[in-house]
Amino acid sequence: MILRELSELPGVSGDEHRVRARLWEAVRDRVDGGRVDALGNLITWKGADRPGPKVMIAAHMDEIGLMITRIDKDGLLRFRKVGGIDDRVLAAKAVRVGPDGIPGVIGLKPIHLLKDNEAKKAVSHEELYIDIGAASKEEAERVVRPGMYATFATAFGELGDGLVKGKAFDDRAGCALLVELLALDFPFPVYGVFTVQEEIGLRGARVAAYDVAPGLALVLEGTTCADTPGTDPHGQSTLLGHGPAITVMDATHIPARPLVDGLVAAAESAGIPWQWKRTTFGGTDAGSIHLTRAGVPAATVSVPCRYIHSPCAFMSLRDFENTRRLVAAFLEDVPRVAERLAQGSA
Amino acid sequence: MPALYADVDRVEQLIRQLAAAYGPSGHEEPVRALLSAHVAPLADEITVDRLGNLIARIRGQGGPQARRVMLAAHMDEIGLIVTHIDDKGFLRFAPVGGLGPATLLGQRVVFADGTVGVIGAEKLEDVKDLKMERLFIDIGAGSRAAAAQRVQVGSMAVFAQEVAGSGSRLTGKALDDRSGCAVLVEVMHHLRAAAPPHEVYCVFSVQEEVGLRGARTAAYAIAPDMALAVDVTPSGDTPQGEKLNVALGGGTAIKVKDRSLISHPKVRQLLVDTAAEAGIPYQMEVLPYGGTDAGAIHLTKSGVPAGALSIPARYLHTPGEMVDLGDVAATVDLLVAVLKGPLPEMPA
């Protein structure tokens, strides 16, 4: 399963090259061509000279993670967060540091030594450090330099009834979906774009969309799934196992209605379970793409991922497969969707 | 003071008509349809781009001094988007644009199909617990199924509030920025009567309230030499109000800065000089927050000299927004006066 490999590869924003290499290997025989742009996006295409709207399908390669900023004299590594991470998930987690994947642990005081109120407070990431077992600054510097990235050291695994666990499903799930979708043939031009630096501001997609200049765009994501205790039903952004989630609005984008309607119609007519995403926080590459050049109609489809942006998320393989089926069904309908888009602006 | 150019009755009628229309961000179709009908006889060409911006072009006389000028006013208004329908048919929602819970409690709202709802709250122990996620819309449906016949997740609602007149002032929903849209249409009447030297693109933009989005793509397509946004700005003249220089009835407000834009100095000077020369009442607007379409436009391609004229307004983003028709007329007058004459070389 390519998802396993993609999940376990390190690829924090700005350091996506290993993921990119693996993806290129996976899709090179499925596409007509590909190139890597100046920011590191992998842009692939098939049927570029076919008639019809240029369809861009995007998934981001980068994941949230940490960057080493300083090495203390006792050999401990100080770090900053790259992308949105809740400080509370950091303490005591195993990580891998730098290109060689040096094992480390995010350290904190043991419970025996805590002062009165310390146990009741989350520890800020600024007070945490990564311990790689080095006894001194000099020893640590032999293998680590400031600027190196660290990722959570989480093994991919299967559990429960058709669930998988692992890191970076946001958005390696989208990447794996795109790999599968690029095996299909389309009567119109399709650009499969694996983007960089989504987690720190939808950056790669912006320049990739400028380059591709698509007629419409679809973004494949791993999204929040808050179906866990303590969340009101209307705060549960998506439900695990209930199918792909279709976005009606987030902080960066209001999807084009003909695309949303097309996605719903495709799901309904193919009998694919689907759900609305119930919250409007966050953003996806669609936020950048739709504002490119003179505007691009865009939409986002997501696979629900419980415990997203943490060391270990859960995803349902049935949701994954249903998302693939939904997007494939939608793509069959693209000529009609394009017609409705054209009517909308007549 | 009588208006130089503006037909104040005509503008007032148009503001009332436009403000009554439904048009939250991303769903501006009804407003666009109304505006299309008004501008079709006034423009040389009208187009709708892929995000839904309505772009009306006036060719102008041309000649060596002709420039390509973009005017922008946004069609969209703030609103609510349904995120969840519960078993009993109550609708949970998120804001579309800048809206706070205190403004919403007890308000009547309306959906695109005319479905009316009222905003209720869960039982709160303390008014401080009044949070968006504790509010809901009640459309009188008894069940999820009954609600789903009229409203879906993704459906948007806006305030249900007609515009009312009170002396020289209008109050109602969506004066932000339908009053700006009406200004642009009124300007087009005068440009149609006496063609300006410049090629003028009047852009009725989408999705301003959620991040200046439509103006960005429209500006890319037009690539103007100069751009002016026409929007509203908060006034500082109410009891214990904010310390802002702008007052209702004090004339059109020439923007110096907000959080999205520092007006191009030559554009600003052109507006000030023209207003002073023509005797058009104006005031300077320095806004420490907020943004307008000019913020997105001026960063397009290799940069666009841009500024903004603002209509002073009270109670923004509530159902009771208030503007003064004299300020609206002054905004029309200044735009017409500026477009009649030559424009400075920029940035030289």
The whole-angstrom separation of Cα B250 and Cα B256 is 16
CB contact under 8 A, A234 and B52: no
- Three-state DSSP at A118 gives helix
CB contact under 8 A, A344 and B153: no
Q: Which two tokens stand for residue A156?
A: 């991919």
Q: What are phi and psi of B107, to 5 degrees?
A: -75, 150
Residues of A in contact with B208 (CB under 8 A): none
B172 CB within 8 Å of a chain A CB = no
B153 CB within 8 Å of a chain A CB = yes
What end-to-end distance do the CA atoms of chain A give, in Å?
45
| Alpha helices for chain B (secondary structure H) | 8-20, 29-39, 101-104, 144-148, 175-193, 213-222, 265-278, 293-297, 325-340
Which domains are seen in chain A, by residue range?
A: 2-63+167-344 (3.40.630.10), 65-152 (2.40.30.40)
The whole-angstrom separation of Cα B248 and Cα A209 is 44
CB contact under 8 A, B86 and A234: yes
Q: How confident is the model at residue A121 (pLDDT cuts 50, 70, 90)?
A: confident
B51 CB within 8 Å of a chain A CB = yes
The whole-angstrom separation of Cα B182 and Cα B311 is 12
Cβ neighbour number for residue B221 with a 10 Å cutoff:
19
Interface test with A, best of B25, B54, B83, B204 (most A CBs within 10 A): B83
- SS3 assignment for B90-159: CEEEEEECCCCHHHHCCCEEEECCCCEEEEEECCCCCHHHCCHHHEEEECCCCCHHHHHCCCCCCCEEEE
The whole-angstrom separation of Cα A89 and Cα A111 is 17
Q: Are strands B108-111 and B116-121 parallel, antiparallel or unpaired?
A: antiparallel
- Is the model's pLDDT at A117 over the cut of 80? no
Active-site choice (B199, B208, B209, B321): B208
Residues A1-35 pLDDT 10s: 899 999 999 999 999 999 999 999 999 999 999 99
| CATH architecture under which domain B8-77+173-340 falls | 3-Layer(aba) Sandwich (3.40)
The whole-angstrom separation of Cα B53 and Cα B66 is 24
Pick the residue from chain A with its C-alpha nearest to B155: A248
State the number of CA atoms in the 13 A half-sphere of A286 facing the CB.
30
Residues of B in contact with A232 (CB under 8 A): 133
Cβ neighbour number for residue A17 with a 10 Å cutoff:
17
Task: Yes or no: say if B119 and B174 are a contact pair by the CB < 8 Å rule.
Answer: no
Alpha-carbon torsion, ordered B164, B170, B176, B177, to 10 deg: 100
CB contact under 8 A, B50 and A297: yes
CB contact under 8 A, B86 and A233: yes
Task: Yes or no: say if A315 and A303 are a contact pair by the CB < 8 Å rule.
Answer: yes
- By CB neighbour count within 10 A (0-12 exposed, 13-18 middle, 19+ buried), where does B94 fall? buried
- Is the model's pLDDT at A111 over the cut of 90? no
pLDDT at residue A119, rounded to an integer: 74
The whole-angstrom separation of Cα B311 and Cα B294 is 15
Active-site residue, B122 included: no
- Three-state DSSP at B313 gives strand
To the nearest whole angstrom, how far is the Cα of B92 from the nearest Cα of chain A?
6
- By CB neighbour count within 10 A (0-12 exposed, 13-18 middle, 19+ buried), where does B276 fall? exposed
CB contact under 8 A, A257 and B26: yes
Across the strands, what pairs with A150?
A66, A97
Pick the residue from chain A with its C-alpha nearest to B97: A251
Cβ neighbour number for residue A1 with a 10 Å cutoff:
12
Q: What is the DSSP letter of A87?
A: G
For chain B, 348 residues long, the average pLDDT of each consecutive 10-residue run is 92 98 98 98 97 97 93 98 96 96 95 98 92 96 96 97 93 98 98 96 98 97 98 96 94 97 97 98 96 97 97 97 98 98 82
CB contact under 8 A, A276 and B154: yes
pLDDT at residue A345, rounded to an integer: 54
Residues of A in contact with B218 (CB under 8 A): 294-295
CB contact under 8 A, B84 and A278: yes
B94 CB within 8 Å of a chain A CB = yes
So where are chain B's domains? 8-77+173-340, 80-159
DSSP string, A10-47: --BTT--HHHHHHHHHHHTTTSSEEEE-TT--EEEEES
A232, A248, A294: residue with CB nearest B153: A248
ipTM of the complex: 0.88
Residues of B in contact with A295 (CB under 8 A): 49-51, 53, 214, 217-218, 220-221
The whole-angstrom separation of Cα B55 and Cα B46 is 6
Q: pTM for the whole thing?
A: 0.92
A235, A252, A345: residue with CB nearest B50: A345
CB contact under 8 A, A257 and B207: no
Q: What are phi and psi of A221, to 5 degrees?
A: -135, 160
Q: Which two tokens stand for residue B216?
A: 């960005």
Q: Are strands B226-234 and B169-172 parallel, antiparallel or unpaired?
A: unpaired
Residues near A155 by beta carbon (within 8 Å), at least 6 away in sequence: A8, A166
The whole-angstrom separation of Cα B166 and Cα B38 is 26
Longest dimension (CA), chain A: 71
Interface test with A, best of B84, B131, B209, B302 (most A CBs within 10 A): B84
pLDDT at residue A346, rounded to an integer: 43
B54 CB within 8 Å of a chain A CB = no
Q: Taking the domain B80-159, which CATH number applies? A: 2.40.30.40
Q: Scan for tokens 């019809």, then name that residue.
A: A52
Q: Of the candidates B45, B25, B22, which has an alpha carbon nearest to the alpha carbon of residue B33?
A: B22
CB contact under 8 A, A249 and B154: yes
Pick the residue from chain B with its C-alpha nearest to A248: B154
